Amino acid sequence: MTNAVITTSELTCPQCGHVAIETMPTDACMYFYECRGCGVMLKPAPGDCCVFCSFGSVPCPPIQQSRQCCSSR
Ligand SMILES: [Zn+2]
């Protein structure tokens, strides 16, 4: 079964509401993201692996594939 992995996500800044379309790396997670609107440094919510899972419209590719990702804490 092949699931198409979406690699673009709409990141919504919780601070200023700025929405940016960002491309997600398929083999890594983005833990920090600087908002293009207000410049705040976003970090994932507790329990989320990356900013896309917390603030994006689409979870990151590893999550979409039910894979482990960046869980090297
Ligand atoms: Zn912002």
Average of per-residue pLDDT across 1-17:
89
What would the mean pLDDT of 29-53 be, rounded to a whole number? 93
- Domain with 32 in it: 8-72
> Measured on CA atoms in the order 10, 13, 19, 23, is the torsion positive or negative?
negative
List phi, psi (to 5°) of 60: -65, 155
Please tell me the predicted confidence (pLDDT) of residue 71.
55
Is 2 domain-assigned? no
**Mean pLDDT (whole number) for 18-30:** 90
In a domain, 12, yes or no: yes
User: How far from 69 is each of 13, 21, 23, 27, CA to CA, in Å?
Assistant: 23, 21, 17, 8
Share of the chain above pLDDT 70, in %: 88
Check: CB of residue 54 under 8 Å from CB of residue 45. Answer: yes
pTM here? 0.81
Count: domains in the chain:
1
Q: Which residues surround ligand 1, an ion (CB under 5 A)?
A: 13, 15-16, 18, 35, 37-38, 40
Residue 15 lies in a domain: yes
